[in-house]
Amino acid sequence: MEKHPDYPIQLHLAGRLCLVVGAGPVGRRKIQGLLQSGAKVHWVAPELTAGDAMEGMSVHPRQYRSDDVQGVLLVFAATGDPELNDRICREGREAGALVCRVEQPAKGDFSVPAIAREGALQLTVSSGGTCPAFAALLRDRLREQMASLWGEVARLAKELRQVLIEEEGDAGRSRALLDAWLTEDTLDLLATGEIEEARRLLLESVTPGDRKGTP
């Protein structure tokens, strides 16, 4: 069968129920990422204790049960038991959930990329599940190059988009305006902390001359 490339997607998980089965290092990393995204986490593993509980999650120190997948959006099978992971994935799909089999990503519906965040900017690196360790290494190298000013650029780009929508009804011009604004001089302003001057120049480009007094 022809191998197609994965389809990249950003999920809004705030308030959505996700299941993690397994309490090893990989499962615990999935828990952290889900909680950071605002998901409601249902965590099942026999070795869990009350001390593992955190805000936004329910902890169940027992074996997996078939009804654990009911009403769940994402399922992470991370038990270290291949047969049990098979069962979790099969029953998750039957219940309408998307499943991630952490030890064999190609057998699941999705894999989680390596992530680096800087303000509103989020950088993800994926090997398509073939080599997560390499994706994490590349993520770390790129993070070193992702200076904090790029987080500021992302914040200002978001503000520009909102202004365009309010004043013109859509954000169709945002890319052209950002391209014209993002010069070496602008980056120098951001790097030296002159955020408001960089912001003024960007917003003035929407309606030149009208925004000099913008706070």
Domain boundaries, the chain: 17-112, 113-146, 148-204
Q: Which run of H or E residues covers position 59?
A: strand 57-60
CATH class label, 113-146: alpha beta
Instruction: Calculate Rg over the CA atoms of the chain.
Output: 22
For 37-107, where are the alpha helices, taking DSSP H only? 82-94
Q: Which tokens hold the place of 37?
A: 């995204």
| pLDDT band with cut points at 50, 70 and 90 for residue 115 | confident
Higher pLDDT, 145 or 143: 143
Q: Which fold has domain 17-112?
A: Rossmann fold (3.40.50)
Give every CB contact of residue 103 below 8 A, 6+ residues apart in sequence: 26, 78, 80, 82, 85
Of residues 209 and 65, the one with the higher pLDDT is 65
Q: How confident is the model at residue 211 (pLDDT cuts 50, 70, 90)?
A: very low
Distance CA 107, CA 23 (A): 20
Place of tokens 């917003």: 203
Only one residue has tokens 């290092």, namely 25
Supply the mean pLDDT for the chain.
86
